[in-house]
């Protein structure tokens, strides 16, 4: 993997470990010569992951919509800051630039971004690994919901297995390196139409 996109919160959350792990992820990517692609802001976990990479000699590419430049406070010390016109263009560009995705803790925006990437993978539009750094069990309830989606017949087990997770950065990166995308079949059998 040459570059990884990281989706995460523009705030720090309530636990110091979120900020510490975000910084450590950026540092680890830099030390492994893996470029970071992220949302381009200098605040919250977004700033922490970028600083972790930049302060350790890593490549950091931020992708930020024009209208968020002042709200999310653009990071001024990146390798490159790409300004785009919309949120959709932001996600498309971040997808184009990366070989995999990691979600750190975050809110609606983080979930929306990572689930769009999962949806694209489910539809066979890419075969990149999508992973959650599950810091302090942050995503435990989400993973339980995915199991419910499977048991209630709204998600195939093969698609649930696309979701990689670990609370350890090195373990997560290893899972991403070894990821094999499932073969995507038709959604609906002909006899079901």
Q: Are 10 and 44 in contact (CB under 8 A)?
A: yes
* Confidence at 193, pLDDT banded by 50, 70, 90: very low
User: Which domains does the chain possess?
Assistant: 3-176 (3.40.50.450)
Q: Are 61 and 28 in contact (CB under 8 A)?
A: no
CA distances from 159 to 25, 33, 83, 85 (A): 26, 30, 33, 31
% of the chain at pLDDT higher than 90: 84
Candidates 4, 193, 192; CA nearest to 97 is 4
According to the model, what pLDDT value does residue 68 have? 78
Q: Which two tokens stand for residue 105?
A: 């803790």
pLDDT digits over 139-189, tens only? 999 999 999 999 999 999 999 999 999 999 999 999 999 999 988 654 545
Flag whether the pTM goes above 0.85: yes
């Amino acid at each position: 993997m040459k570059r990884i996109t990281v989706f995460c919160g523009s705030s720090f959350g309530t636990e110091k470990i979120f900020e510490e792990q975000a910084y450590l992820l950026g540092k680890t990517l830099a030390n492994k010569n893996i470029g970071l692609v992220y949302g381009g802001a200098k605040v919250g976990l977004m700033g922490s992951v970028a600083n972790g990479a930049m302060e350790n000699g890593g490549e950091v590419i931020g992708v930020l919509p024009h209208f968020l430049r002042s709200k999310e406070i653009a990071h001024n010390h990146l390798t490159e800051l790409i300004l785009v016109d919309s949120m959709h263009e932001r996600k498309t560009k971040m997808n184009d630039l990366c070989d995999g995705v990691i979600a750190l803790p975050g809110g609606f925006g983080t979930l929306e971004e990572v689930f769009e990437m999962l949806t694209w993978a489910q539809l066979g539009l890419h075969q990149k690994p999508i992973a959650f750094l599950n810091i302090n069990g942050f995503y435990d309830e989400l993973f339980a919901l995915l199991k419910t989606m499977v048991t209630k017949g709204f998600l195939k087990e093969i698609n649930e297995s696309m979701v990689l997770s670990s609370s350890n950065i090195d373990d997560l990166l290893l899972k991403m390196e070894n990821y094999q995308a499932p073969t995507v079949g038709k959604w609906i059998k002909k006899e079901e139409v």
